[in-house]
Each structure stands twice: as C-alpha cells, then as structure tokens.
Amino acid sequence: MTKRLYKSNRNAMIDGVCGGIAEYFGMDPTLVRLGWVLFCALGGSGFLAYLIAALIIPRNPEY
C-alpha cells in the first residue's frame, strides 16, 4: 500500500491542506498550521503556496 497525500476531511480548518500534510507525516495538525502561519508572516509567499496546494492536492476519497 502506497502512502498518498490528500486533503484531510477530519482535520480541516479552511480546506484541509495542513491537516492532510499532518496526517501524511504523522504530526499534530496544530504544529503544521503554526508553521504555515509563520511561513506566511515571514515571506508572504505562504498564502500563495496554500492556494496552490488547495488546488492541486485532492480530497481524501475514503472519508
């Protein structure tokens, strides 16, 4: 069984991108969200990266 990156349906705040990344790496979703906010605050490109990820990463079909 291969590991796939999906947007989370269970840990979704906005679109489930951070929750999906956390599930993929086995991390706490809150830590991923805090890292993403820091990424947005420091460079500003985090918002654009989130939008691209929300468009590219598929929704998890199992939930």
Query: Has residue 30 got a pLDDT over 80?
Result: yes
* pTM, rounded to two decimals: 0.82
Measured at the CA of 4, the angle between CA 3 and CA 10, to 5 degrees, comes to 110
Query: Has residue 55 got a pLDDT over 90?
Result: yes
Could you tell me the residue ranges of all domains in the chain? Answer: 1-63
- At 41 the pLDDT is 87
CA distance 38 to 10: 23
- At 63 the pLDDT is 63
Phi, psi of 53 (to 5 degrees): -65, -40
